[in-house]
Amino acid sequence: MNKILIALVLAVVMSGNVFAEAQSKCLKAVEKGKEVEHINPNRDFNVSPVTYKVYVYKGKAYHFYYLDGECRKIG
């Protein structure tokens, strides 16, 4: 039972580190990359109500939802 509990705790802790590392890489891409698209629902009426920018850095693309501060790799 204790081994299962320890394994579960380690899995949760390590998954948080993976998310933090991915978020860090994404924010670095936003900082150093090139903005290629800006989706603004107030300007583009045929788009969903989500506002974000698309950045490209080192051949990879990232969505940056600047109102929420959330960053995700595309693909």
**Range of 43-47, 58-62, 67-71 with top mean pLDDT:** 58-62
Q: pLDDT tens across 4-14, in order?
A: 767 766 666 55
Q: How far apart, in whole angstroms, are the C-alpha atoms of residue 5 and residue 7?
A: 5
pLDDT exceeds 60 at position 34 = yes
Query: What pLDDT, on the 0 to 100 scale, is given for residue 36?
Result: 93
Query: What pLDDT, on the 0 to 100 scale, is given for residue 40?
Result: 78
Q: pLDDT tens across 13-30, in order?
A: 556 566 677 888 888 888
C-beta separation of 75 from 67 below 8 A: no
Q: Where does 1-75 show beta strands of DSSP type E?
A: 34-39, 52-57, 60-65, 70-73
Query: What pLDDT, on the 0 to 100 scale, is given for residue 21?
Result: 79
